[in-house]
Amino acid sequence: MTDNYNIKIPVQARDVAIVAADLFGERLCGVYLYGSAVLGGLHPDSDVDVLIIIDGSLDGTQRAELTKRLLKLSVTVEAARCERHGLRPLEVTILDSVKLKPRRFPPRIEYLYGEWLRAEIEAGELPMPHESTDLVILLRQSERHSLRLYGCELSALVDPIPDSDIKRAMRGELPNLAGYLHGDERNVLLTYCRMWYTLANGDIVSKDTAAEWVLARLEPELRRPIEVARLAYLGKADDSGEYADAARLAIYFEEKISELLE
C-alpha cells in the first residue's frame, strides 16, 4: 500500500466508493485507488482506477444498478479531453473475496467497468464475471501502490502475488500485444516498457518512469518512438505520425522481454 501523503484523491474515486457502500453495505470489504493517481499523478489521458472487493458475487439487480451509476460517473476519453470540470474515464474492477484465497491462476474478475466497454454496455450487455490474466498485474500493482479509500488493508484480503504468476501472465500477454500496435502505438510501446521494467526490477511503475528507464538501455537509433510516446503520455508533445519505426521496435521488445521470461 502507498502512504497517502501528497496524493490527490479524485472526486470520482470518492463517488465510486460511496456507490459501492450504498449497493453492497456490510458485504463491502474495501475500496482502493490505484494506477496513475498514486504513481506520480494523473496525466492528460489517464483513467481513474478503482479496485473494489466484496464478500460474494453481484446479483442481477446490483450489476444493472452499478452499471447505470458508473455510466453517469464516468466520461469517454473524447469527452474528458473537452471536459472543463476535470472528469475522467473510470476503470472499476470488482473482486469476490471468497475467490481470492487460496490464490488461483488465472484469477477471476466479478465485474469490470471501463470506457472501452461503453458501447457494449449501452447496447444492453452488462459486464459479467470472467477469468483474467491481466488481473495478476493489477493486483501486484495494487498491493504495492494503492490508497485505501474504505475498509480493511488490501493485504488482509489478497495474498502477495509471486513473481512466477507475473511471468505466467506476461507470457500469455506478450504474443498478442503487437496485434494492437496499429492505431494505439503509444500505449502498446509504453506497455512493452512496463513489462521490461517489471521483469527486470520486480515492481510496477508509471508508464513514463518505465519509459525513462528503458531509454537508458536502448540504442540511439531506437529511442525516438519511446521519447515521443513518453512526452505525449505526459501531455508535452503531439505524437501524430511519429511511429514509423514502431513495428521494428516491437520486435526488439519482444526479444528482450522473452529473454527475461525464460
The rounded distance, in Å, linking the Cα atoms of 69 and 31 is 16
In a domain, 247, yes or no: yes
CA angle 194, 36, 176 (to 5 degrees): 35
Q: Check 83, 91, 131, 219 and give the catalytic one.
A: 91
In three-state form (DSSP H/G/I as H, E/B as E, the rest C), the secondary structure along 115-180 is HHHHHHHHCCCCCCCEECCHHHHHHHHHHHCEEEEEECCHHHCCCCCCHHHHHHHHHHHHHHHHHH
- What's the structural domain count of the chain? 2
Cα Dmax for the chain? 56
The residues with which 92 forms a beta bridge, in sequence order, are 50, 113
Residues 57 and 121 in one domain: yes
Closest CA to 110 of 151, 69, 57: 57
- Which of 140, 160, 180 is a domain's end point? 160
Please choose, from the candidates 161, 255, 256, the residue with its C-alpha nearest in 3D space to the C-alpha of residue 217. 256
Residues 118 and 181 in one domain: no
Report the amino acid identity of residue 236: K
Is the pLDDT at 5 greater than 80? The verdict is: no
Could you tell me which residue, 102 or 259, shows the higher pLDDT? Answer: 259
The domain boundary, picked from 112, 137, 160, lies at 160
Assess whether 91 carries a catalytic annotation.
yes
CB-CB contact of 107 with 139 (8 Å): yes
pLDDT mean across residues, the chain? 94
Local structure of 95: helix, strand or coil: strand
Cβ contacts of 262 within 8 Å, gap of 6 or more:
none
Given 110, 142, 160, which residue is the final one in a domain? Answer: 160
Q: pTM score, two decimals?
A: 0.94
At 202-242, the pLDDT tens digits run: 999 999 999 999 999 999 999 999 999 999 999 999 999 89
Give the CB-side neighbour count of residue 164, counting CA atoms within 13 A: 3
Give 22's contacts (C-beta < 8 A, 6+ positions apart): none
Same domain? For 27 and 148 the reply is yes
Reduced to 3 states, what is the DSSP secondary structure of residue 54?
strand
pLDDT in tens, 176-199: 999 999 999 999 999 999 999 999
Q: Please check whether residues 118 and 169 belong to one and the same domain.
A: no
Residues 27 and 155 in one domain: yes
231 domain-assigned? yes
